[in-house]
Amino acid sequence: MGFSRKTAPSGMLEIHLAVALFGLSGLFGKWIALPALAIVFGRVFFAFLALALVIKRLGIPFLLREKQDYWKMGALGLLLAVHWLTFFGSIRQSSVAVGLLTFSTFPVFTALLEPLFFRADRLHWNDFALALAALGGVALVIPEWDPRDMGFQGAMLGVVSGATFALLTILNRALVSAYSSIQIAFYQDSTAALILLVPFLLLSPIPSLNQLLLLMVLGTVFTAFSHALFIHGMRHVPARSASLIATLEPIYGIAAAALFLSETLTIKTGIGGSVILGVAVYETFRRR
């Protein structure tokens, strides 16, 4: 696979651990009895502080090279805030399983949206076929086809979360060649925190000490640390392998939800989730 025997096991372990942490982050949407906005603000705020310490320790420059890049980072920070608001909103409205599975539609959105931004990427007929298959999986995941049903609303928010994550990934392509992923994460998390600060203050939530500690763990361990761990692991693992491992995120999350939250997965949701994950894995193989 293009890496030595010494580095492969540790790199693969780091990627798996990072993806498991990504999946487990969804549980905080149920553990923290606060509105999605408060959860997201706490996450990006503590992630911003942790990443600032990482950047200082590693000697990575804080300043960006071009003035217009600050505007780009700011716009992507806004998109990141929308992504996480819809992600945690989905979990709060429905379940960890529904939130993670509907979010997993993002590879299909990536395939459909990339040609709009990059001429080198062409749209093929099978992209539409995969999109229809993924939508069929989402249809099975939705508990009740009633817009007033919380499960329906949660699934729709999960799909929006997947679409915004796909757009965020695509637009980040313009920055990854000039800046490290840690720099990008730092600026996007800090921008998201600034954008959400006023709504957070207007909401005036008063988190308990336990909720505050959970938010701190979510922002540092399950956001900043997991992001840095994933990046470090990719030094020794091919991008294709890392992308395939990333499709395990909902599996880790659903297993953890069953263990810690006693969430049960219905046969219908399991079939729909299998369709969505199958499409995601196929799309990752095809594009890599």
pLDDT at 237: 73
pLDDT at 119: 67
Q: What is the pTM of this model?
A: 0.88
pLDDT in tens, 150-174: 999 999 999 999 999 989 988 887 7
Which own/partner contact pairs does 264-269 have at CB distance under 8 Å and 24+ positions apart?
A: 265/97, 266/143, 268/140, 268/141, 269/97, 269/98, 269/101, 269/140, 269/141, 269/143
The residue among 208 and 125 whose pLDDT is bigger is 208
Local confidence band at 21 (pLDDT 50, 70, 90 cut-offs):
very high
Domain spans of the chain, in order of start: 7-287
Rounded alpha-carbon distances, angstroms, from residue 85 to 80, 122, 172, 231: 8, 31, 19, 24
pLDDT in tens, 87-133: 999 999 999 999 999 998 888 888 888 877 776 566 677 777 878 88
pLDDT at 239: 63
- % of the chain surpassing 70 pLDDT: 91
pLDDT at 287: 59
Q: Is 189 exposed, middle or buried (0-12, 13-18, 19+ CB in 10 A)?
A: buried
The residue among 272 and 110 whose pLDDT is bigger is 272
Inter-residue contact 254 to 112 (CB < 8 Å) = no
pLDDT at 43: 95
The residue among 117 and 221 whose pLDDT is bigger is 221
